[in-house]
Amino acid sequence: MTSDSRGAQLKPKILVTRAVFQEVIDYLSEYFDVDSNQSDEVFSDAELIRRLQGKAGVYANPTNLMSAEVIRSAPELRAICNMAVGYNNIDVAAATAAGIMVTNTPDVLNETTADFGWTLLMATARRVTESEHYLRAGLWKKWNYDSFMGVDVHGSTLGVIGMGRIGRAVARRSMGFNMKVIYNNRSRLAPELEAEANNARHVSREELLRSADHVVLVLPYSKESHHLIGAAELALMKPTATLINIARGGIVDDAALIDALSAGKIAAAGLDVFENEPAFNLGFLKLSNVVLTPHIGSASGSTRRAMADCAADNLIAALSGHRPPNLLNPESFK
Ligand code: DGY
């Protein structure tokens, strides 16, 4: 804390970029002079830069692009605390170069996000959204032996791309469905982690795409994972397979996926994330073999609150001289 001309202690100034639980704003206000945005205006870059002037910390979320330009325009900034596990909205290299700490919210959302991966998988495989639309539209006149036949989940092969904490939680849940698990990850897991993840077997990405009945994407977005699943990869998949994305938009080439779904190259997709969201490719709306949700993988009440608290605790630690629990760039902590 700094002092004013009369020696009174001044709290560090922070910006909370988007609306968040009021209790979290109250908690942060015990430590900081908070510039909040409870009306949830979406800031342009220019507005974000303007609001960051004089701020020591920013409580951000994936909708805020903390680019090198934004970071360099905020000379007093010491910490960027993201309310998300993913942090591809932040130029971490630029933050590190400027001596700014960056944090995320790992672990607290693993189980909730894995639950949601399964929600999408089951809904996609068994055509839940499509059949509900049919029912709501008053089209259900009689039972048919072949109405909305989907693909089985039990006894099938689950392919997980990105076997981090959330990927392993997705894999663990497959035990109850008597499934085989194959996975692809930058590095092979330790044998005890593979055992916990339903005896998951490490395979090449190509083998996974060729063999899995249900492919779930749970890897971080980066330059390397941009369009990791495009036309060539979709062509490797079985025509009966489903693709589930609970990771980030941009990992899948959405235009190529729309082509593959339209041509029946894969059976169906369940998507919680999109390229350029929320302005996603409207081609998806013309397809019946997709289940679409607006980036809600971690959205249970208790998990969103845990994420919000975690980001607040990181910011409080960072600006009171302590190492934040979820520091992503330890070089910035001095
Ligand atoms: C995360 O935590 O990264 C979720 O996707 C919410 O953005």
In tens, the pLDDT along 87-107 reads 999 999 999 999 999 999 999
CB atoms within 10 A of CB 91: 21
Distance 247 CA to ligand 1 centre (A): 8
Distance 128 CA to ligand 1 centre (A): 25
Pairing of strands 242-245, 214-217: parallel
d(CA 177, CA 233): 26
For the Cβ of 218 lying below 6 angstroms from any atom of ligand 1, the answer is: no
**pLDDT of 187 above 80:** yes
Using one digit for the tens of pLDDT, what is the confidence trace for 149-181? 999 999 999 999 999 999 999 999 999 999 999
Mean pLDDT of 139-157: 98
The percent of residues in the chain predicted with pLDDT above 90, rounded, is: 97
Give the model's pLDDT for residue 334.
86
Q: Are 312 and 328 a contacting pair, CB within 8 Å? A: no
For the question of whether the overall pTM of this predicted structure is more than 0.85, the answer is yes
Domains, the chain: 2-108+301-332 (3.40.50.720), 110-292 (3.40.50.720)
Tell the residue nearest (CA) to atom 4 of ligand 1. Answer: 84
Q: CA nearest 248: which of 69, 58, 6, 85?
A: 85
Query: Both tokens of residue 181?
Result: 């698990």
For the Cβ of 86 lying below 6 angstroms from any atom of ligand 1, the answer is: yes
Using one digit for the tens of pLDDT, what is the confidence trace for 279-322? 999 999 999 999 999 999 999 999 999 999 999 999 999 999 99
Using one digit for the tens of pLDDT, what is the confidence trace for 54-88? 999 999 999 999 999 999 999 999 999 999 999 99
**pLDDT of 222 above 70:** yes
